[in-house]
Amino acid sequence: MIELRNVTKSFRINGHTRTIVSNANIVFPTGHTVALLGRNGAGKSTLLQIIAGTTDLDEGDVIQKGTISWPIGFRGSFHPELTGAQNAKFIARIYGYDTTEVLEFSRDFAELGSYFDLPFKTYSSGMRSRLAFGVSMAVPFDTYLIDEVTSVGDASFREKCSAVLTERMKDASGIFVSHSMPQVKEMCDIGVILEKGQLSYYDDIDEAIAQHNANIRGHNG
């Protein structure tokens, strides 16, 4: 379970204040995969970082029960000077898991070849995402934060990502960001919409998608 209590977060950009979320109060329930929906630039990735604890709040609290992954599509969790292998070992130690198992799974899954033993800073954007996804799947979490990860790599790699993610989600909760509405319907049973700094909760994923699409039409109209 993840609960946001009176959460506010904003940024100053070019002399203007951009509010990501304002006085938000919401519960992401255990045992569900929640679609986090919103227009491009609404702040969905920032909200995932807030939930993960990697971005500071202006006000409020995030209450967490159980282990929570970093945002899986977010590569900022890795040290640039360490190799892929060293990063995987470091994360395994942090979460108290067998380093050999995490290392072997990450090496096989990420398909980086010899780059797995080179510094993370030498990786392309796609390689960084593949390592981030591989290490995330190697470490079991109670809740996964998932940010557009299945857009990584070629078709066969994306299929592999979807398959392992579906398997992990059988025993875990999740908060899922994706621009693919078919993928949202397949993976999620609840929806939360981020619109103009406000969060709205929907028990029905189809209703959430319909409202999200209406928001986009209204914005573009």
Q: Is 180 helix (H, G, I), strand (E, B) or coil?
A: coil
What pLDDT, on the 0 to 100 scale, is given for residue 150? 58
Q: What is the pLDDT of residues 88-135, one digit of tens each?
A: 999 999 889 999 999 999 999 999 999 999 999 999 988 988 898 889
Tokens 């209204």 correspond to 218
- pTM (two decimals): 0.84
What pLDDT, on the 0 to 100 scale, is given for residue 151? 60
Q: Is 138 helix (H, G, I), strand (E, B) or coil?
A: helix
In CATH terms, the fold of domain 1-67+142-151+171-221 is Rossmann fold (3.40.50)
Dist CA 4 CA 141 (whole Å): 19
CB 107, CB 60: distance < 8 Å: no
DSSP 141: -
Residue 214 neighbours by CB under 8 Å, 6+ apart: none
Neighbours of 186 (CB within 10 A): 13
Q: Is 55 helix (H, G, I), strand (E, B) or coil?
A: coil
What pLDDT, on the 0 to 100 scale, is given for residue 136? 86
> What type of residue is 14?
N
Sign of CA dihedral 89, 92, 97, 101: negative
CB 68, CB 170: distance < 8 Å: no
Give the pLDDT of the chain (221 residues) as one tens digit per residue: 899 999 999 998 888 899 999 999 999 999 999 999 999 989 999 999 999 988 999 999 999 999 898 887 666 678 999 999 999 999 999 889 999 999 999 999 999 999 999 999 999 988 988 898 889 889 889 999 988 765 666 778 878 888 888 888 888 999 999 888 998 998 899 999 999 999 999 999 999 999 999 999 876 65
Q: Give the β-pairing of 59-64 and 2-13.
A: antiparallel
CB 48, CB 74: distance < 8 Å: yes
CB 199, CB 26: distance < 8 Å: yes
What pLDDT, on the 0 to 100 scale, is given for residue 209? 96
Biggest alpha carbon distance in the chain?
54
